[in-house]
Structure 1
């Protein structure tokens, strides 16, 4: 993706994307702050079995890593070849699916060893990725999400994302939380909570206070990007590109516990 700020991009960041949102936008409730590698151009983020799994981008710096969320220690890491720009990440069972931006390839890794065990292909760009328990859901920067068969990446259907009459584009990193698709919006400090059946934005989460909480530590912080869901403890982790902090935030009160996706 076009990962460098221009003056226009900076203005969009301040104003926030989708200013015409019709749904409520509560402020994220910070419950904790943890260390995060501020050299990481965070693309994908997920929580599983007590660890965070994170992918980073940029050619020559695209890495898949397992991280201790408490200490920020990287406990396992691999890097893509120079020609690839790494993107979003999702877990299906004991497999990790890692998108690339423009190479139209997703790589599949064993979650324990990080051994590459497969590859999938797709058309267009890859941005964010998540798993709903049956299908992968992929963003490409547009207002349309692709629902994919993990076996071959065939498109099962598409989800047109909208808030009222307004199409919501720049959908980036994704996380499936209690029957909703949560999406970072590129250039924005807000997160859309999307109905996976209709594509309607049910609500927004305003995370501007996270950037404020960075204070002087956030001098080099880029955009908010990275959502991970700890269903057992009902905790959401949020961070951003080049952010020195991983925030834990409370799940909105209206979210009711549901069965975890297989």
Structure 2
């Protein structure tokens, strides 16, 4: 009886041990499963958070990049004045180009006052002057080799001058509708006639080699005036505006705009009420200097360009393509 009782107790202990062990293992399994589920949920949550942050970062960068590319693609520039130089306030500037050694060649207009001149940058002094016949209205001017080429307003007549003494030694006729602006890339002449057409002319025959209609967003850009060739682009004053259009000579597409209303506004505030429009672009390719002036302006400016990143008050159409009235009817 004692033996059987002892066996029963051992059996009960063993049974109890097995039950307790099973219960502990079950509890342990439950705890492990709980922690495993938490670990997985934590990993999933962290992954989701990281994914959201990455998406937000990429989206933010994409938006900023799009905004930046929009500015760059529009290529709208404002200006910073680097230097101011004296300029003849009686010069109705029609053509301007850098002649080297801090000198300029300039063509001036108005009947009875037209001329071609060589001017010193720092003083504004006219070193050499060739007065034109009173029947001619001087317009665009450019230098190719040792010769200066000039066109005239309302006539298809142009003149060639010696760059050193400005003696006139040849007259030519061209195929543009009128004579407004001239520039060169060193091989051909680029010309404007106040329309939206950019011409390529042969410097030997003055016949039209090619022409392109200048456009901005499918809008024709009229009143193309004084021209300058800069780093593979033709830059043009747009008459009656304070804007310069940067044009692709290949197809006439406007690559960008330079906004310069501050210059004329400053001159007007200073009491220069008789000034006319912005006109005259000159490029010093050796020192990468850009110069601008205007008709009857007492100053010539060296400027630098800065991309416009803030909102422009009014569109380019309003700033640069809307014709405004000034005191003179001539371009």
- 8 Å CA contact retained: 1:221, 1:242: yes
Cα deviation per residue 1:152-203 (whole Å; 9 max; x = unaligned)? 1011000211012111110000000010000000000010000111211111
The reply on whether 1:158 has 2:216 as its aligned counterpart is no
Cα deviation per residue 1:126-159 (whole Å; 9 max; x = unaligned)? 0000001210000000000110000110110002
TM-score w.r.t. the length of structure 2 is: 0.68
2:114 corresponds in structure 1 to 62
* Higher RCO (C-alpha 8 Å, min separation 6): 1
Aligned partners of 1:23 and 1:79: how far apart in 2?
A: 42
The reply on whether 1:242 has 2:296 as its aligned counterpart is yes
**Shift, 1:251, TM fit:** 5.0
The reply on whether 1:169 has 2:222 as its aligned counterpart is yes
**Shift, 1:218, TM fit:** 2.5
Cα deviation per residue 1:1-36 (whole Å; 9 max; x = unaligned)? xxxxxxxxxxxxxxxxxxxxx934221121111000
Select between 182-191 and 100-109 the one with higher mean Cα deviation: 100-109
1:183 corresponds in structure 2 to 236
1:34 corresponds in structure 2 to 85
Select between 130-139 and 114-123 the one with higher mean Cα deviation: 114-123
1:201 corresponds in structure 2 to 254
Where does 1:99-248 land on structure 2 (aligned, <5 Å)? 99-123=151-175, 124-214=177-267, 215-248=269-302
**Shift, 1:247, TM fit:** 0.6
1:82 corresponds in structure 2 to 134
Aligned partners of 1:158 and 1:218: how far apart in 2?
A: 38
- 8 Å CA contact retained: 1:23, 1:201: no
**Shift, 1:217, TM fit:** 4.3
Larger helix fraction of residues: 2
3-state DSSP class of the match of 2:263?
A: helix
- 8 Å CA contact retained: 1:26, 1:204: yes
Residue segments in structure 1 that go unaligned for 5+ positions in a row: 1-21, 254-262
Residue segments in structure 2 that go unaligned for 5+ positions in a row: 1-72, 308-331
What number of residue pairs does the alignment pair up?
A: 232
The structure with more radius of gyration: 2
- 8 Å CA contact retained: 2:78, 2:305: no
3-state DSSP class of the match of 1:26?
A: strand
Aligned partners of 1:45 and 1:252: how far apart in 2?
A: 23
**Shift, 1:115, TM fit:** 1.3
2:38 corresponds in structure 1 to none
The CA RMSD measured in Å over matched residues stands at: 1.4
Aligned partners of 1:217 and 1:180: how far apart in 2?
A: 35
Shift >6 Å, 4+ stretches: none
